[in-house]
Chain A
Amino acid sequence: MEFVFLLEQVVNGLVLGGYYLLIALGLSLIFSVGGVVNLAHGAFYALGAYAALEIRARLGFAPAVILSPVAVGVLGIAFERLLLRRFYRADPILSLLVTFGLAMVAEQAIRMIWGAAPLPVAIPAALKGPVMVGDFLFSRYRLLLLAIVVAVLAGIWFLLNRTAFGSVVRAGVQKPDMVAALGIRLQPYMTAIVVLGVGMAALGGALFAPITTVHPAMGAEIMTVAFVVVVIGGLGSFWGVVLAAVLVGVVRGLTIHFLPAAGEASMYVLMFLVLLLRPRGLLGERIEKFE
């Protein structure tokens, strides 16, 4: 019986990893392409949740999940064009300060617009409740979430590896000067990557609003986990982030099974071990390269 319990935690951890992935992958993408750690990434996650809440009140759940990332993506265009763009080549401390400041401004803006108290959001009735697969218990809603994450992941991978757009981005990550010499402007690609990244974060917010507390500081909450996942996975490694997200989800589940009080600490211990044994991160040897 004990083995089945553990297996159940492992499978649940995989599902949870998918959620971490939505946030961490965007963070990693923006870092690989622009060399900027976007500390405001969590703010876009929170905005995604709040936007979804507003759209859902008017149009319903499915339109909210689709339109919220689009709306936040548009905000991402402004963010990249007006702000982030100026810091790609600057001292990293500047971009960190700016995005950190922006995160605080966004959190306070949310507090001013929607109030400090958490807002109620429920799962649509049709998606609520458990699904039993053999003796395994799953949440119906999370299975849907997993399917969406897998679809998004496949889409991003395809975009980066099988399209002209992806070739330019990957070339730009490695040899921007060469890309420029070939007469290609990288700037629109940068914008697209940032839009993609913050859009994914917003999608995460929209999807997780019904099962977590929607409050102004929710962005700061998720930011730390996303950052840990990126560091464990290895900088700029697509599969590294995927692996790390899943690993963090599984390790957390198993730790909670044996030692519940250490559940949240487990990912930091994992990060510590990875940095100690393999400072580049799990798949970090292919640093700054997406494949």
Chain B
Amino acid sequence: MTDRKSTGGALDRRTTLKLGAAGLGAAAFGFPAIVRAQTDAIRIGHLTPMTGFLGALGGYAVLGIKMAEEEINQAGGVMGRPIQVISEDSINPDTAATKAQRMLDRDGAAFLMGEISSASALAISQVAARNKRLFLSIGARSDTLRGKSCNKYMFCVDIPNTVMVNAVGSALLRDNMVKGKRFVTLTADYVFGHDLLRAAKAFFAAHGGNLVGDELVATDVTDFSPYLLKIRQARPDVVCSNLAGNQVTNLIKQYAEFGLPYPIVGFNLNTADAWAAGEGNLSGTWPTVWYHTLDTPGSKAFVEKFVKKNGKPPENHAWIQYISLKLMAEAMNAAKSTDSETLGAYLEKGTQFDILKARKAYFRAWDHQLIQEAYPFTVKPKAQIKDKWDMLQLGAAVPNPDQPLESIYPTREQNPCSL
């Protein structure tokens, strides 16, 4: 054995290692943002993941909501008062719940909004319900949030999993890629992924698709090679991704790396993750809630302003946070209140909001979700790509203009929500 003293004084290597493990553990906790006090401002608690596998999306989310905050304050605020958005990293469901409670108790937040992670959104919604305060769940897509776990104080903005499956599904049905085909799915192993898998299974069952393999993938997986080998062993007709965040980027890159011949489709993809995939790696059909090439005057003006300010086009989470704060400001002005009960009652009335899409959107009273258009997209051929942001070809909006918006959403029979 070595003389310990000689290598490092009082240092005991095993102790050092234990402390090292503790240090790595501590990395899981974040550090609170600095809250600047501002009297008479309407404070809004905003939680979103800024680190971890959804962190990149959260970066865009903050840019989007800050831009809306500035615009609202420049236009005179809400009811003559400025608004102040307190943004913090939600990190994980436990921390998100703790921070949500603190924002209400200590930071004087009138209500809460934000999130991308369905698991954290669920945790925050419970805090909101306990405190009888409004929570606008912006970027979380799990059906459960609008279904079994819906509550009186939560309103959901993003399209739910069922709508994403329907948006891509309609394109797949058109291309004859469902009936009698063998599917293998890769699913993010948390509430969102499970939920998406359920929606996908329902779709396959309804349209004669055959699910021959389904793999659960932990959210911190960076290497997909063992999964790719399993896919090849199953020899499916179509590979289907129910993954989230960085997972999708990693899968796409490694799928191209291993050169598997099966077409790949997915029921969830955020544009930041598509952009990160790298040239020539992405293929297939995917759903989206919004894309910066969407051809409406409102959307174009928003994109132009965002690019000027940030030097890059907005991702869908920037857009959705922007329109969410805008519609809350509109609601507060119209209801002349920041009280959660009053605002909730106002949103339930089904007011039509301009969300920069061709058709206006509204909250459905019985399950509190925003009813809006969705889009499938495919990847542009290389020759047509203008710049690195311009890699996706947005398909026609679903549902068709002659169909009611609700036709792509779960019906009252399908959705087990009772408020």
Contacts and interface: CB of A to CB of B under 8 A. Distances in A.
Q: Do A and B originate from a single complex?
A: yes
B272 interface: yes
A68 interface: no
Contacts of A260: 215-217, 227, 230
B278 interface: yes
Interface in B46-96: 50-52, 55-56, 58-60
B6 interface: yes
Contacts, number: 206
A101 to B, nearest CB: 10
Interface string B1-41: 11100111111111111011101101100000000000000
A9 B17 contact: no
A36 B16 contact: yes
Contacts of B254: 139, 211-212
A148 to B, nearest CB: 16
Given A92-B16, A122-B281, A264-B221, A217 B52 contact: yes
B353 to A, nearest CB: 27
A31 B13 contact: yes
The number of chain A residues touching the other chain, given as a range, is 35 or more
Interface in B359-396: 388
B220 A264 contact: yes
A70 interface: no
Contact of A210 (B55, B273, B278, B315): B278
Interface string A60-100: 00000000000000000000000000001111110111001
A109 to B, nearest CB: 14
Contacts of A93: 19
A118 interface: yes
B226 A252 contact: yes
B23 A39 contact: yes
Nearest to A225: B222
Contacts of B226: 9, 12-13, 252-253, 256-257, 263
B208 interface: no
Interface in A189-248: 210-218, 220-224, 227, 231, 235-236
A118 B7 contact: no
B6 A139 contact: no
Contacts of B50: 116
B229 A9 contact: yes
B233 A5 contact: yes
Nearest to B230: A257
Interface string A245-267: 00000001100110011011100
A218 B52 CA distance: 9
Given A137-B229, A215-B246, A123 B10 contact: no
B279 A213 contact: no
A263 B276 contact: no
A177 interface: yes
B19 A92 contact: yes
B230 A16 contact: no
Interface residues of B, number: 68
Contact of A8 (B58, B229, B257, B312): B229
A278 interface: no
B132 interface: no
Nearest to B10: A91
Given A128-B256, A137-B229, A253-B226, A96 B19 contact: yes
B259 A35 contact: no
B223 interface: yes
Interface in A10-24: 12-13, 15-16, 19
A264 B280 CA distance: 29
A50 interface: no
Contacts of B281: 122
B218 A212 contact: no
B216 A100 contact: no
A211 B24 contact: no
Nearest to A20: B223
Contact of A221 (B12, B222, B232): B222
Given A37-B16, A37-B23, A235-B14, 20 more contacts: A9-B229, A12-B225, A13-B226, A39-B20, A89-B11, A93-B19, A96-B23, A97-B23, A117-B60, A122-B256, A125-B280, A139-B259, A176-B6, A177-B6, A211-B257, A214-B276, A215-B55, A216-B55, A256-B226, A257-B229
29 contacts: A5-B230, A5-B233, A16-B223, A31-B13, A34-B8, A35-B13, A89-B11, A90-B11, A104-B27, A111-B59, A115-B59, A117-B59, A118-B276, A120-B275, A120-B276, A120-B278, A139-B254, A139-B257, A211-B257, A212-B250, A212-B254, A217-B52, A220-B27, A253-B225, A253-B229, A260-B227, A260-B230, A263-B226, A288-B2
- The list of the 3 closest CB pairs from A to B, nearest first, reads A116-B59, A122-B278, A118-B276
